[in-house]
Amino acid sequence: MSGADPTAGPAPAIFNAADTSARAAAPALHEVLVLAAAAWRGVQGGQSLDRALETVLQPNSVTGPARAPADQARLGGAVRDLAAATVRRAATVDFLLTRLLHRPPDAAVSGLLAVGIAQLLARSYADFTLVDQAVRAARAQPHTAAASGLVNAVLRAFLRQREALEAEAGADPQRRFNVPAWWLRRLQAEYGTRTTALLAAQLEEPPLVLRVNARRASVPQMLERLQQQGMDAVQVGPSAIWLQRAVAVERIPGFLEGWVSVQDAGAQLAGPLLEVAAGMRVLDVCAAPGGKTAQLLEMADCSVDAVEFDPQRARRIGANLERLGLAGPNARVVVADALDPPAYWNGVPYDRILLDAPCTASGVVRRHPDVVLLRRESDVAKLATQQAKMLQTLWPLLAPAGRLLYVVCSVFAEEGRRQVSAFLQRQPGARSVLIHGDDPAGLQLLPCATAPTTGLAAQPAGAAIPVLHDGFFYALLEKT
């Protein structure tokens, strides 16, 4: 054993990653650190976290030869956890590294240090284990081996001054909440004193929430099945169950049989708000991976045209519908641009339209922490223009008395209530249907925290709005 701390014992297995299978081999922490550091560097270079992870997890000289699928999935889950934890603390990690280093080291070394510091901040492992494994990770790679002493020294220096450094880092809200100045300014202007709670929720690890497929099971049946497997779960929406300890989907009882899908409870509002009924013609645009398409088909014998312009993502709609037992002639997946109706519309108006518009994703930061690093303020206006264009393009496809549900997973008013207010002003014959509360423009859900987990009340019977959700904006527009 070559680590800095001889008491650390053999390389620890990762148990906190969303494990895929009890049979999968647990990857060693030092291997995971190397790959997470590479993914982190990809994100720093402007890649999305998903893309960076895809790249680093390809079998190659660093990851080693191809592994059994279960092992590969478990490794992927562990690397994702560590890389996401680093992205979630990026501003603090950057600050701490400038405090702890006299000059920036090689990118591979600073990547390893960033992931190491983020894990020490998260307190996911015993300090000595983490330091030992980070040193081992440095030694394992030819281009970082010479810096293993530096890795050891910097992580130990952090531990010696931890309290003071964490307090200094946390004194700045941009660093504490890991958001750029423009993002913070916008939220403060729109939400005032509610901003802190919103930002705190956004720093959490995302809760794993399921939607029960009403065609296969009920919420009580699913809760019972989870309980039988010893999995703690609580109902957090009319069809939503929060699985309090994340596991890989294949380990969720009933998942492969189509009893459930993974979907945030806030996203699950789409189906009930659209009130689809048997025989209705429904257009679902920006549909992949098909979470909402499936929900509509679970709720009623309607026919759905699911339009998605990314062919690879469109294939996932079909796969999800197959698993849920919903594939058939009434579910048509079309690869097309939503802005080009002749490519998917036969001229017969739709009774319902679901527009899940492209947006900043500012409401789902805890699921996609890279969003705050990759977005620029100018993106908000660009996306708002695209959303307005989509609303304008789709409106003529709606039948008289038909309803269009506009959804964005954003908390910025420019994409939500201001977008819809502007549409209502310029579009004769459009009226807004009040959803919940008293804002005629629509319903803004702000991400709410799971912590303290014990304090979360289960879904009150009959309540439509989930008790645990990410950030979404919904507007229900009717053609008069």
Ligand X SMILES: C[S@@+](CC[C@H](N)C(=O)[O-])C[C@H]1O[C@@H](n2cnc3c(N)ncnc32)[C@H](O)[C@@H]1O
Site residues, ligand X (CB under 6 A):
285-292, 307-310, 313, 337-339, 356, 358
Q: What backbone phi and psi angles, to 5 degrees, belong to 363? A: -95, -10
Helix (H), strand (E) at residue 81? helix 69-88
Q: Kindly tell me the burial class for residue 273, based on how many C-beta atoms sit within 10 Å of its own C-beta (0-12, 13-18, 19 or more).
A: buried
Q: How far is the CB of 393 from ligand X (least distance, A)?
A: 9
* Closest separation in Å from C-beta 465 to ligand X: 18
Nearer CB in complex with ligand X: 266/290: 290
Burial profile 396-414: b = 16 or more Cβ within 10 angstroms, e = fewer? ebbeeebbbbbbbbbbbbb
CB nearer to ligand X: give 32 or 307. Answer: 307
Using alpha carbons, select from 291, 98, 89 the residue that is nearest to residue 179.
89
Contact status, residue 70 vs residue 23, Cβ threshold 8 Å? yes
Which residue's CB is nearer to ligand X, number 85 or number 269?
269
CA angle 326, 331, 332 (to 5 degrees): 145
Report, in Å, the least distance between residue 193 CB and ligand X. 29
Q: Which is nearer to ligand X, 340 or 377 (CB)?
A: 340
Instruction: Give the residue with the Cβ less far from ligand X, 116 or 289.
Output: 289
Least separation, in Å, of the C-beta of 57 and ligand X?
21
> Which CB atom, from 3 or from 237, has the smaller least distance to ligand X?
237
Residue 264 CB, nearest approach to ligand X (Å): 10
409 classed as catalytic:
yes
* 8 A C-beta contact, residue 276 and residue 254: no
Spatial CB neighbours of 318, under 8 Å, sequence gap ≥ 6: 290, 327, 333
Q: How many helices, marked H, and strands, marked E, lie in the chain?
A: 18, 12
Least CB distance from residue 295 to ligand X, whole Å? 8
At residue 360's C-alpha, the angle toward residues 354 and 366, to 5°, is 100
Residues in the chain, overall count: 480
The Cα 88–Cα 474 span in angstroms is 27
Active-site pick, 286, 359, 409, 448: 409
* Catalytically active residues, by annotation: 409
